[in-house]
C-alpha cells in the first residue's frame, strides 16, 4: 500500500484510543501523548475530537472513554458470525465440565475474547467479549501462537512485554519458543498459574474445514479444585469433541 493512501490523522486518533486500558482509564493530555508516541498538540486535538463526538469525556484535566466507544468493537463482533457460532458450544462445554469456557482470536501480541460461558469468576479481572490478555502466558494465546511459524512467534514475543505476573510465569523468549513448540506437537496448551495465582487453564485451537486456525477455546478452573496436571484428563476429550464439531461447520 502506498503511503499517500493512508490517513495519518485516523492512525493518530486510533493510537490515542489504544492508549486507554483497564490500568489507564483516565489520562491527561501529556500522559496520552507519551503512551501513543505523539506530540502534545496532536494528542490534545485527538482527545478533544473524541470528546466532542461523545467517545470520551473531559473534566478539565483528565480524559476517559465513554460507553459510546463500544460501538467500534461491536462492529467487529456483530459483523462476524464466529462469536454467535461458538457461544452455544461454549455453553455446553461449560455446563458439561462445570468450569468457565471461553473463545478468543489473536490480535498482535494479545488475545481478544470473542465469546465466554462463565460458571463462576476464577480471575480477579472480569473477562468478557472484548477483554484482552497477553498471548504469551495464556493457554489460548499459546495455542494461537503455535499455529504460526517460529519466526513469526519470535517476532511477536519480541514486541511483547514479558511480565512475570506470578512466580510461575515463563518470560524467557527461548523457553517460550520451546513451550510453544511443545503445544504445536501435542495440540493443546496448559497454563499453570502463569496469569494469576490459583488459576489454571487448558486451550485448543478451532479450525475451519480447510484446517486453518481461526480461533481458540479454553476451559479455566481454580487450581485448588482442578490442578493443571489433571486438566487434560478432565477436559480434553470434551474439548476435542467441540473442536471436531466446529471444524465441520466452519467453511
Q: Report the SS3 class of residue 15.
A: helix
CA–chain centroid gap for 45, Å, is: 30
Q: What mean pLDDT is reported for the chain?
A: 90
Q: What pLDDT is attached to residue 120?
A: 64
Task: Retrieve residue 133's grid coordinates.
Answer: 490478555
Q: What is the pLDDT of residue 130?
A: 84
Per-residue cell: 80: 462476524
| Alpha carbon distances (Å) from 128 to 45, 133, 178 | 31, 11, 30
Taking 50 as the pLDDT cut, the residues of the chain under it are: none
The pLDDT value recorded for residue 71 is: 75
Report in angstroms the alpha-carbon separations of 108 from 16, 102, 144, 159, 217: 18, 19, 11, 9, 18
The enclosing H or E element of 56 equals: strand 56-58
What pLDDT, on a 0 to 100 scale, did the predictor assign at position 78? Answer: 55
- Amino acid 69: pLDDT: 82
How far apart are alpha carbons 50 and 54 in whole angstroms?
A: 6
Please give the C-alpha separations between residue 143 and each of 62, 136, 137, in angstroms, as whole numbers.
39, 10, 11
Q: Reduced to 3 DSSP states, what percent helix, strand and coil does the chain have, rounded to the nearest 5?
A: 50, 20, 30
Give CA–CA dist 232/100, Å, rounded. Answer: 15
- pTM, rounded to two decimals: 0.74
Q: What angle do CA 130, 112, 160 make, to 5 degrees?
A: 130
Amino acid at each position: 500500500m502506498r503511503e499517500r493512501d493512508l490517513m495519518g490523522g485516523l492512525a493518530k486518533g486510533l493510537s490515542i484510543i489504544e492508549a486507554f486500558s483497564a490500568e489507564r482509564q483516565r489520562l491527561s493530555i501529556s500522559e496520552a501523548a507519551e503512551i501513543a508516541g505523539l506530540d502534545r498538540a496532536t494528542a490534545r486535538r485527538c482527545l478533544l475530537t473524541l470528546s466532542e463526538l461523545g467517545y470520551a469525556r473531559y473534566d478539565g484535566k483528565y480524559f476517559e472513554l465513554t460507553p459510546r466507544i463500544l460501538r467500534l468493537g461491536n462492529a467487529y463482533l456483530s459483523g462476524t458470525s464466529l462469536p454467535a457460532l461458538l457461544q452455544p458450544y461454549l455453553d455446553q462445554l461449560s455446563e458439561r465440565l462445570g468450569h468457565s469456557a471461553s473463545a478468543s482470536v489473536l490480535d498482535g501480541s494479545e488475545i481478544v475474547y470473542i465469546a465466554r460461558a462463565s460458571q463462576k469468576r476464577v480471575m480477579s479481572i472480569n473477562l468478557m467479549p472484548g477483554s484482552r490478555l497477553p498471548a504469551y502466558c495464556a493457554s489460548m494465546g499459546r495455542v494461537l501462537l503455535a499455529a504460526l511459524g517460529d519466526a513469526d512467534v519470535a517476532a511477536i514475543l519480541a514486541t511483547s512485554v514479558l511480565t512475570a505476573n506470578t512466580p510461575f510465569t515463563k518470560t524467557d523468549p527461548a523457553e517460550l519458543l520451546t513451550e510453544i513448540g511443545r503445544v504445536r506437537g501435542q495440540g493443546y496448551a496448559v497454563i499453570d498459574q502463569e496469569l494469576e495465582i490459583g488459576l489454571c487453564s487448558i486451550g485448543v485451537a478451532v479450525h475451519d474445514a480447510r484446517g486453518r486456525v481461526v480461533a481458540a477455546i479454553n476451559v479455566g478452573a481454580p487450581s485448588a479444585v482442578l490442578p493443571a496436571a489433571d486438566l487434560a484428563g478432565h477436559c480434553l476429550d470434551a474439548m476435542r469433541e467441540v473442536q471436531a464439531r466446529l471444524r465441520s461447520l466452519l467453511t
